[in-house]
Structure 1
Amino acid sequence: MDLDQLAALRTPDGARALTAAAELAGGDPLTAASALRAAGVPADLAAGALTQAELRRRAAAKFGPMAAGMFFTRAGLEQATRAVVADRRAARLRAAGVTSLADLGCGLGADALAAARAGIRVYGVEADPVTAAMAAANAEAAGVADRFTVECGDATAFEVGRVDAVFCDPARRRAGTGRRIFDPNAYSPPWDFITGLIARVPRTVLKVAPGIEHALIPPGAEAEWVSVDGDLVEAALWCGPLAGSPRRATLLSGKGGPLPSEPGSAAGSEPGSEPSQLTGTGTVDAPVGPVRRYLYDPDPAVVRAHLVAEFAETVHGGLGDPSIAYVYADEPVPTPYARCLEITDVLPFSLKRLRALLRERGVGRVEILKRGSALEPEQLRRDLRLSGAAPATVVLTRVAGAPTVLLGHPVTPAFR
């Protein structure tokens, strides 16, 4: 899409084309295009409207109902922050006293819109002209154009002395190909500029890939990993006065509110009142011992934040292998930070023995989990040749270095 096509979509005729396209989104593209052209919509306008309608349909998972009035590019939607994450970040910035914010590389404006809704004056900078124009259009659609303005330009040239705080979400996909960039030095803006912001504006927040190496985290920064409904979605570095604990795992819900908080956790004692947050140094080793009756599979944010030891303490548990992030305990303790399974069988891995055990139990449906195993779950499922009706969970892992298979079923300890 170019600027002329975007402008056409923002005319009354474009708005009507978008409305018609929305009714056809999700169906056969050729049939939808034919229907719009039959209704008198010019081919170029129909193509643009159908593309936006499909992107808006996909964006609903990230942005909810407001996606219906926004404009997107495919690459921009892929990298855009989910609304529930952006809203929480904006609330934290506002609570820290931030009143003006530079969003360097603002993309389609997801984070900037959230900050503006929180009452923060946002200055967005975006290098791509079409994306910048879409961000401005999204600000108008959200009713925050008076608090979020966008300039098309080089983020590294913005005068950051004008603002209280800086947020930077560097591009981590290659222009033209859309391929992910794993080397921070190849980000845009580059990593040395991004980390250099910390010295210029103490209140700096950097959005980074969840797989960032801990060695790259700037000294004194808080590294936070965020999951939504168990899906690890991002990491962020909170710098200067914004930093809290060295490591934080934050669990959010995208289905109508935050996940329940564990009594006594950093989030408070009322289930559902706040996001569930686990904090620590990220340098503690969990105790290692035998497999016990209950297995806890920690949320990926907990694992990435290197807070498995801190989590294990909350359930009075330990590891079965020092390199595997499964936690074993004697009791089913309520926790938002992990799934809990009751283990019924522990045996050295043997396909023949496992197949015989499942046949003996009448198991015909299995969920397969794995950590520390090279086996492919779908291949194993075929090799098991299941024929019963009962369900079970099979865990492929290592215990004290040895390939091990665990058999069990999920349990849901209740909050008291």
Structure 2
Amino acid sequence: MYTFLTESAVAAEMAMFLPRIDTMIAVFYFGLFAMSFDFISGYTGYLSFGHAAFYGLGAYFVILVANGKVPILGANTPFMVSLLVAGLLAVGLALLIGAVSFRLSGVYFAMITLGFSQILYVLFANWDFVSQNPQDGVSATVSEGFAVGIPYVDALNMRIGRLLGDTFTFGFDFVQMTGIELLSPISHTISLSGTEVSYYMIGLVVLVSYFVLQRIIHSPFGRAMIAIRENEERARAVGYDVFRVKMGAFAISGFFGAVAGGLLAGYRGSVAPENSFYFLTAGDALLASIIGGFGTIAGPLFGRLFHEGLHEFLSKEGGGLLPYLRSELGQGTLDTVIWNGFTVAEGMETFLNGRAGLYIGLLFVLFVLYVPHGLLGTLRVRLGGTVAKRLPAHIQRYLR
């Protein structure tokens, strides 16, 4: 007997294994942070374990501006302006940290940047100016979300925010043409929820940031960064001002790290020391870079998507592996005894429920051992170049 699934049933099956839209939004803004981390660590070889300093600075600055606690910028300052200023402040912070840290290299550089990040973590976790309970973080007083788009042009702005419940409806008309005959105009409308608008607008900022980072990497400055990564002494010998190149790369990565933090705060409407300045935030960026591929810019974004998608697949309720098995396996199979009264259902609860972190950790070890170039890096090695340049030729080869 054959069972034919309807289109809606297939969509339901696919949705069970795909990340939710709010998960994808988190992938976007944290993926940008991971890309900024990869920009300095993957292209110069200097691991910035304190990169969360820029992420947290951008997040806190955006919230403080919205709450009217920044004297120069008022509470009505457009979100995109505060995001830009946050990035510039991160550039200044990066130059300050880099002036001290780049006198060292290797693990010493990583540790001193981590030290700076922890100083800011302790500062914002105990600074009463931030909020009455700074350890719990701070929330924005605005409830209508933050506008992403062209500042001061309302028609070119859309509001983002996790708590937005409004539905945005867009209408447009177009005229059908058959031969030389014009038919009557047809009106169409598109309705998007607040979460969907956040998805597209945050994704747009991340996409623009990615193209800017890619352009820098493919410039003479980017080639100087790669030369430093490959052999710093040789780069110095051929005439590169190594210190200035490293400082410039650190400043650029700090700028985009702060932008990512601002997007985090803009979407969530709040920020806390634990999800911004904490040193494990940089550790998550390192994990995303290793899974996606060091020195690829786009790799960390795919690495974060892989990480979050797998975590959700192994742990979420209402979808994912465990609920899927519960719904698909018959009761007789679930009640089958494996050993000494231990049933299949109990085995699923023991080995799957709440064990996502365990399997992701094991997968990370396997990546380090057997996929050292990461997902995108391995694909580039197999194709013999960047995906954009080599993939079309490979596709044409199979289409012949």
Q: TM-score range by the shorter chain?
A: under 0.3
Higher strand share: 1
**Relative CO higher for 1 or 2, CA cutoff 8 Å, sep ≥ 6?**
2
TM-score where L is the length of structure 2: 0.23
Higher helix share: 2
